[in-house]
DNA sequence: CACCAATTTATAATGACTATAAAATAAAAT
DNA sequence: ATTTTATTTTATAGTCATTATAAATTGGTG
């Protein structure tokens, strides 16, 4: 239950937070703050972009979701807070989860006197969809 | 020779480019564009911040260096263009190279129909220096 | 239901970066 | 060596995601 997740974090239950968490629940599209705002605005006309940013910040800092900085200009958000690989398609600009087996690491860990609490792993290239499209259009 | 590197890339040899490449040569501090600008300005008073950005962009796109997006607000630059791990200390904000053996991957590679041409691997935590300082101040 | 701290909202501010267009210059052509 | 031309540099204005601000609203405890 989303309400309980908020309660556990000691956060007040507000319609805005519920809406944002609901939108993200099970969402694998990794939306940006603006996309979240635009998708919720019709249902919540009073919603402010600042609230979306605030809420995402609070939730990310509480470890309830994860910020993705795979694109230069914009942040994106993943409801799964556990570090895992992400992929950005250089053609269609879509973002995908991409777990690459042996690369996935448990945090925190120690290496050469560095205490690593967290990590991000970003891949860049061409997604299956665009590869397929490319191949067929080139024939 | 730095001049030859520029020639090989088909770029004109300008004092600004030489200065920037010289500053980066063997530099393991991963400076930002602004830091590069501030360090060079005294010797090259006519230097413009836009030139620093332009040059770094050109060189990065040519594969002569690497942009590091480990910090939210600012880009940093690494003269080593080969993908490798980077570490950001959450206390002193310093950036270090951090190679973690089995994690290092050869690019490009294929995985589940994704064509991965490039990747970034960013670690976050506490650097050896800050850990040491913490330990001694807490006693 | 009243209170108060937390939250939301609208808007202004920030700041890294990019675009622009004029001036300067590297290097090829003469 | 000089001319020529495309590239580069420069100063400055513009962009845009994000953050700060402060007033208005509201969730939840007593």
The 3-class SS string of B16-70 reads HHHHHHHHHCCCCCCCEHHHHHHHHCCCCCCCCHHHHHHHHHHHHHCCCCEEECC
The 10 Å CB-count burial string (b at 16+, else e) for B60-88 is beeebbbbbbbeeeebbbbbeeebbbbbb
Q: What is the CATH architecture of B1-79?
A: Orthogonal Bundle (1.10)
CB contact under 8 Å between B103 and A103, yes or no, is yes
**Distance from residue A13's CA to nucleotide D29's C1', rounded to whole Å:** 14
Region(s) of chain B under CATH 1.10.10.10: 1-79
What is the fold of A2-137?
Arc Repressor Mutant, subunit A (1.10.10)
pLDDT in tens, A3-30: 999 999 999 999 999 999 999 999 999 9
Q: Find the residue closest to C14 using CA and C1' atoms.
A: B73
Residue A96's H or E segment, with its range, is strand A95-97
For strand C, the positions having any atom within 7 A of a protein Cβ are: 6-12, 15-20, 25-27
> Which CATH number, 3.40.50, 3.30.1490, 3.10.20, 3.30.70, labels domain B82-139?
3.30.1490
Q: Range with the lowest mean pLDDT among A98-112, B61-75, B78-92?
A: A98-112
What digits encode the pLDDT tens for the residues A86-135?
999 999 999 999 988 766 678 899 999 999 999 999 999 999 999 999 77
Backbone torsions φ then ψ of B71, nearest 5 degrees: -105, 150
């Amino acid at each position: 239950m989303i309400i309980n997740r908020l309660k556990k974090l000691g956060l007040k239950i507000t319609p805005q937070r519920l809406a944002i968490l609901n939108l993200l629940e099970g969402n694998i599209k990794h939306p940006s703050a603006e996309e979240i705002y635009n998708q919720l605005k019709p249902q919540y006309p009073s919603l402010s972009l600042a609230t979306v940013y605030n809420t995402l910040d609070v939730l990310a800092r509480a470890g309830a979701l994860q910020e993705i900085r795979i694109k230069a200009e914009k942040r994106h958000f993943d409801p799964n807070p556990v570090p895992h690989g992400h992929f950005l398609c250089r053609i269609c600009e879509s973002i995908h989860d991409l777990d690459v087996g042996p690369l996935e690491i448990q945090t925190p860990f120690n290496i050469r006197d560095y205490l690593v609490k967290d990590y991000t792993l970003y891949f860049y290239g061409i997604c299956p969809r665009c590869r397929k499209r490319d191949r067929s259009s080139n024939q």
